[in-house]
Structure 1
């Protein structure tokens, strides 16, 4: 299956000079949209990158131009729809709006805080960014003015509408450290925020929450018995908190399982003494979301809980082989592939311990089979765009290294998976392998990952010329909407730069809208898309030589999602 014989045709480029295309004007709001998605203008990286101050300046400029409302509405729309792969850029932009001197923008930013910062991790991040922005203001301030304190109080009051929900958030997310690029950062806790914000509320549950956060469960219980004896909300809150306290002191498996089932407790509530209990994990895993089950398969297996015919094995297989569940959870093929390839190895680096220690487990053939099925099923979640594609993958030996950002997957495997995904969903797609020459690869919809990688490996290796796809399309008069180049991190070794080749193609074919995505899968910050064509921020009119090129530095499932949005003109 998938081994259709085809004639292999190699093609080498002949270049011709071409005049440059004019610059495209890019609006500041477009730049902001790019930042909210990518954290940059024309590049996405799976590595953590702190937002640059120039993007705060961009937002302040828009607010000065009386576009603050538009800014907040854009931030809220992208956040509500779950369109951005990371929340930190969204929350940074919201904090900048909240720190602005424009009262209307500030009010709008605080009004949407509860909806955007849904969990304490995001809320702590917002408070941290607000503190940093206040420190940069002239004169610097502590950032805990009246409006900020009111917003903090409102966040907790909104969460108090669900008594068990606020109890879960306070006990699951007790504190979080906000890490910078240098590895430094401040740890924020609910207690820190209550001490700085001095929230004062007439809400009966909020009073008990305040007492619990600052002084503990017994003080909160005393306050409740004195002032709110008959409150059902307070009773539910205290019952959940009491359940988590009992769980932390629990040493009996049966009691712990009962607490998990009764209160819906999660792994963060399990005491160290029972963290390796099979029965406890059987109860916990039933509360996990599909993607969390996939993500935690290796960890659960390393504890010996995922053996053949075990209850946990049955629960995992039943979830990840259900097409409807995967579709509702929007599980991406690359996430499943990463879990599959990691699990098949039977070991991985233990990130919670010393550098040289590893988590190991016995590979369960039933789990491998289920993950393979989940991988195939997850392709059904990918929506076609109807565009005309030319995909080109670097077939040099440099691609046989781990992806930056997703080390479980080799670059050639990731490229093969992405080509399979496009071949299965897009009716107009041409696929090539390239090194010093360009060779067509015929990928059938039934091809497996290993068969696709074999077809790539069968092609001649050599110095990679990443301009060949555009040059070939130009000389053969092919109408292409999107060029995607998958490579490692090396610059082009051809005579023509890929961006220049794209300009020539656009001019010759009269297709100024043609796009180029360069995916440098093992890359350092250098990529082969033209660095001279980055967007200018800080001038009165922000411009770019080429707004329809994007660089992916490294690779993960979020990178694949970003690529799809770029292709659909959603960035």
Structure 2
């Protein structure tokens, strides 16, 4: 029967490969046939999206093992390119978490050839920029090949090559992570220290804090830290924080972090990521009142695009922070607060500003958000309070802000919603989402929150445009690529759209999870894969579509 269908030109359903392309297609985790992406695309997906939390069809461990194998293959194919990719994504802040980059760099340092291991060692200070990054890296290395001489030298140089005051702040601020402390690492690596007595004194204090006498003249930062640790009153703690601007929240005795005066002293010098993370506690302690000077200072920082870029604050982190802050309660625990409107609005703006400088997008844009069941259960970058389809809706809104002519629709499989699916029955498997370029992030996220689940059919956007006479220059589909339920493959639906309309339409597939496949045909130059919530993605899409709008 299938041979007869192919002879008569009937399209293959997504449960079967396209005729003549059998060897170039693979089954996805849902059972549909799609195109495998290259290992280099998979590497980028892993570095940006990670695998924590897994997907609807694949658990986190299986996904991680698969991506670890991808890193190994990339190292074997071109170790230099692999390390350069790791560094570029980490340094530019393209990912919401640095952990996948640290994991991949640990693999390069552990399993690469001698040249690749040297490159990984040289890259370590650029990827492990702070103390907690180093301890994560150490934990990954320890779980891989263990501690050879080259790894010990690499990690030891992270300490000895740094300027003394910066190193001191790192070992004081990030004292322990993943079961490792700097004391553990220094005792294991025994770094050769040839840059002066003060550095030797610091390392001696880190490894033997109880028996080392600190000279305030030699190690003034350690002396100030010890005085902060001994502070008995809130006023004494606040005074030290004002006197020593470099002292951080992590160094403050826990019992004093519940005091408004301490946060008022910390606020002027809080790093951007710490500022975003601690907005709820400062609001709860009444340190960010409406129209207060502190509130004005905070909103000015949050809406400064250069400050956001310099701090490498990822838009996904800001999206989660905005959602949590706006709802006035913690996702974990019982903390509550009344959001300060100006702060909530500034967080909204910050999420859009955190993307690379965005320019207007040319052409007519059909934005399609996959709202199927798998997108409703999968989470982005392991964030438990944000599903892949909610994140996709927010990203669609960001893209729409820079596309003058656009339509935004959600799609699931036709007839896949069941009897309780409301408007999502057979003839309404595509439905306009109440999202525009002027929507707030909260409105964009909430537009998909309560939609019914269904199967996945990524061909629907092109078929819907044909049926309704919608002229589109590009279809941007935000999906996990787990399509299976359609009567036609998405790439074939795009070709059908091109033939019937005469429009040389393009397809951009925005992958929202770190899977190994795509609906985009790699042999079609008019189809492109990008990684969801890559800060560079909107501009990559704009260039692919055809440049800047007039």
Query: Normalising by structure 1, what TM-score?
Result: 0.69
Give yes or no for contact 2:330–2:336 (8 Å, CA) kept in 1: yes
Following superposition, the deviation at residue 165 of structure 1 comes to 1.3
Following superposition, the deviation at residue 359 of structure 1 comes to 0.0
Give yes or no for contact 2:376–2:453 (8 Å, CA) kept in 1: no
State how far apart, in whole Å, the 2-side matches of 1:323 and 1:532 are: 34
**Cα distance per residue 1:44-97 (max 9 Å; x no partner):** 99x9768745555555555556x3333333333333333344322322222222
Assess, with a 3 A threshold, how the Cα gap between structure 1 residues 388 and 126 changes in structure 2: closer, same or farther: farther
Following superposition, the deviation at residue 176 of structure 1 comes to 0.4
Matched with 2:100 is 89
Following superposition, the deviation at residue 452 of structure 1 comes to 7.1
- Verify: 1:145 aligned to 2:148, yes or no: yes
Matched with 1:392 is 368
Matched with 1:282 is 264
Give yes or no for contact 1:467–1:492 (8 Å, CA) kept in 2: no
Assess, with a 3 A threshold, how the Cα gap between structure 1 residues 203 and 49 changes in structure 2: closer, same or farther: farther
**Cα distance per residue 1:214-260 (max 9 Å; x no partner):** 11165153xx7xxxxxxxxx946x11111111111102333322321
Give yes or no for contact 1:76–1:116 (8 Å, CA) kept in 2: yes
Following superposition, the deviation at residue 380 of structure 1 comes to 9.5
Assess, with a 3 A threshold, how the Cα gap between structure 1 residues 451 and 167 changes in structure 2: closer, same or farther: closer
- Verify: 1:191 aligned to 2:183, yes or no: yes
**Pick aligned residue for 1:259 from 232, 235, 240:** 240
Alignment of 1:490-569 (within 5 A): 495-496=487-488, 498=490, 501-502=493-494, 505=497, 514-517=507-510, 559=533, 561=535, 563-564=537-538, 567=541
State how far apart, in whole Å, the 1-side matches of 2:459 and 2:339 are: 43
- Verify: 1:121 aligned to 2:132, yes or no: yes
Give yes or no for contact 1:208–1:220 (8 Å, CA) kept in 2: no
Aligned pair count reads: 495
Matched with 2:402 is 425
Range that drifts further, 306-315 or 500-509: 500-509
Following superposition, the deviation at residue 116 of structure 1 comes to 2.0
**Cα distance per residue 1:123-165 (max 9 Å; x no partner):** 122222222221xxxxxxxx33322222222111012x2x221
Query: Normalising by structure 2, what TM-score?
Result: 0.71
Following superposition, the deviation at residue 331 of structure 1 comes to 5.8
Matched with 1:104 is 115
Secondary structure of 2:115 counterpart: helix
Assess, with a 3 A threshold, how the Cα gap between structure 1 residues 426 and 72 changes in structure 2: closer, same or farther: same
**Pick aligned residue for 1:313 from 282, 292, 295:** 295
Assess, with a 3 A threshold, how the Cα gap between structure 1 residues 85 and 337 changes in structure 2: closer, same or farther: closer
Following superposition, the deviation at residue 113 of structure 1 comes to 1.8
Q: Unmatched 5+ residue regions in structure 2?
A: 1-8, 13-17, 25-34, 412-423, 545-550
Assess, with a 3 A threshold, how the Cα gap between structure 1 residues 72 and 431 changes in structure 2: closer, same or farther: closer
**Cα distance per residue 1:367-398 (max 9 Å; x no partner):** 44555665687789544454653113468999
**Cα distance per residue 1:484-522 (max 9 Å; x no partner):** 2469x99776544656645755787796963333658xx
**Cα distance per residue 1:166-212 (max 9 Å; x no partner):** 111111111101xxxxxxxxx11112112222334233233212211
Give yes or no for contact 1:506–1:514 (8 Å, CA) kept in 2: no
- Verify: 1:360 aligned to 2:344, yes or no: no
Alignment of 1:216-231 (within 5 A): 216=209, 219=212, 221=214
Give yes or no for contact 1:39–1:51 (8 Å, CA) kept in 2: no
Matched with 1:3 is none
State how far apart, in whole Å, the 1-side matches of 2:454 and 2:305 are: 41
Following superposition, the deviation at residue 333 of structure 1 comes to 6.1
Range that drifts further, 240-249 or 53-62: 53-62
Alignment of 1:406-417 (within 5 A): 417=394
Secondary structure of 1:432 counterpart: strand
Range that drifts further, 368-377 or 265-274: 368-377
State how far apart, in whole Å, the 2-side matches of 1:441 and 1:461 are: 15
Secondary structure of 2:338 counterpart: coil
| Aligned-residue CA RMSD (Å) | 4.9
State how far apart, in whole Å, the 2-side matches of 1:359 and 1:170 are: 30
Secondary structure of 1:559 counterpart: coil
Following superposition, the deviation at residue 462 of structure 1 comes to 9.3
Matched with 2:223 is 242
State how far apart, in whole Å, the 1-side matches of 2:50 and 2:182 are: 28
Matched with 2:82 is 71
State how far apart, in whole Å, the 2-side matches of 1:171 and 1:98 are: 26
Following superposition, the deviation at residue 412 of structure 1 comes to 7.9
Secondary structure of 2:232 counterpart: coil
Q: Unmatched 5+ residue regions in structure 1?
A: 1-14, 135-142, 178-186, 225-233, 352-356, 536-542, 553-557
State how far apart, in whole Å, the 1-side matches of 2:356 and 2:518 are: 36
Matched with 1:467 is 459
**Pick aligned residue for 1:215 from 190, 208, 213:** 208
Give yes or no for contact 1:482–1:567 (8 Å, CA) kept in 2: no
Give yes or no for contact 1:533–1:546 (8 Å, CA) kept in 2: no
